Amino acid sequence: MEAAIASTGSSFHSSPNPLARQQRIARAVVAFVPQPQAHALRCERTSHPNPRASAAAAAAMGGDAGSGSVVVVGRKKRLAVFVSGGGSNFRAIHEAALGGKVNADVVALVTDKPGCGGAEYARGNGIQVIVFPNSKSAPEGISSDELLNTLRELRVDFILLAGYLKLIPVELIQAYPRCILNIHPSLLPAFGGKGFYGLKVHKAVIASGARYSGPTVHFVDEHYDTGRTLAQRVVPVLANDTPEQLAARVLHEEHQVYVDAVTALCEDRIVWREDGVPLIRSQTNSNEYT
């Protein structure tokens, strides 16, 4: 920046008009501020929409494909959700899919605890339950290779972790690049990592004196809670909060932000900036991102 100003310094000092000088400085500064570029790089497992089909659909719906409006075109995505507990986020996503908000079908529930509330809900709604991994407490569980083959047979597009406490196998992450989401009950990267789950997170937040918390939706990599952040919601931490009270307030936001993120994922509205940061393109204006 200093070099840019120095190279044009003589012209700045030669201007007798202070306002003109300030305007020229502002133009020089703006010219040297790098602007992040967004590229619509979506999950490798899905195909890009046909521009002509999008334009035709927009015209049929009374919209204009060139006006910045977004028209959802494409088949329903197929989701597998992983849970270890009650699965309230799983239920929120499933209900949103049934109601048409999420353009997807939940085709499988994967769990390490076959008797958990999430698994019972899945069975009651005709969703296939897959036990993973194999363990002493779940001898009917399958191996990583068997899980991957099963998900492929079910033609799963995206994997959603919703309170699943096991580390995801590397083979699964490699098979589903940029296609696995998780939700965590804190504003990552704070209060994340191995051992931070459930009330443990909220106890740590309160003990730290943090004034704000909230859920984070992020892509999954080989480690706990270190993948790229996709969406967050901010929740105030009140002076007399108990962990249970804070957890309830954060959970309310979890149900909303996760459904919104999954909606964008299934509508191919996740855009990856050149520096590797994922953004969500607006549902109503293709030139706006969050």
Task: Identify whether the C-beta of residue 38 lies closer than 8 Å to the C-beta of residue 277.
Answer: no
The enclosing domain of 95 has a CATH number of 3.40.50.170
Residues 63 and 80 in one domain: no
Residues 86 and 226 in one domain: yes
Residues 189 and 286 in one domain: no
Residues 220 and 283 in one domain: no
pTM for this structure?
0.77
| Top-confidence residue, 188 or 286 | 188
Task: Identify whether the C-beta of residue 107 lies closer than 8 Å to the C-beta of residue 79.
Answer: yes
Burial of 162 (0-12, 13-18, 19+ CB in 10 A): buried
Of the listed ranges 93-97, 108-112, 138-142, 201-205, the least confidently predicted one is: 138-142
Residues 60 and 6 in one domain: no
Mean pLDDT confidence for 92-121: 97
Tokens linked to 231: 């969406």
pLDDT at residue 33 greater than cutoff 90: no
Query: Into how many domains does the chain fold?
Result: 3
Give the C-alpha separation, 111 to 136, whole Å: 14
Residues 286 and 222 in one domain: no
Residue-wise pLDDT tens digits, 171-219 = 999 999 999 999 999 999 999 999 999 999 999 999 999 999 999 999 9
Residue-wise pLDDT tens digits, 217-262 = 999 999 999 999 999 999 999 999 999 999 999 999 999 999 999 9
Residues 104 and 59 in one domain: no
Supply the pLDDT for residue 72. 53
Residue-wise pLDDT tens digits, 43-78 = 444 443 343 344 344 444 444 444 455 545 589 999
Residues 161 and 283 in one domain: no
- List, by residue number, the catalytic residues: 184
> Containing domain of residue 63, as a range?
39-72+267-290
Residues 277 and 260 in one domain: no
- SS3 at position 164: coil
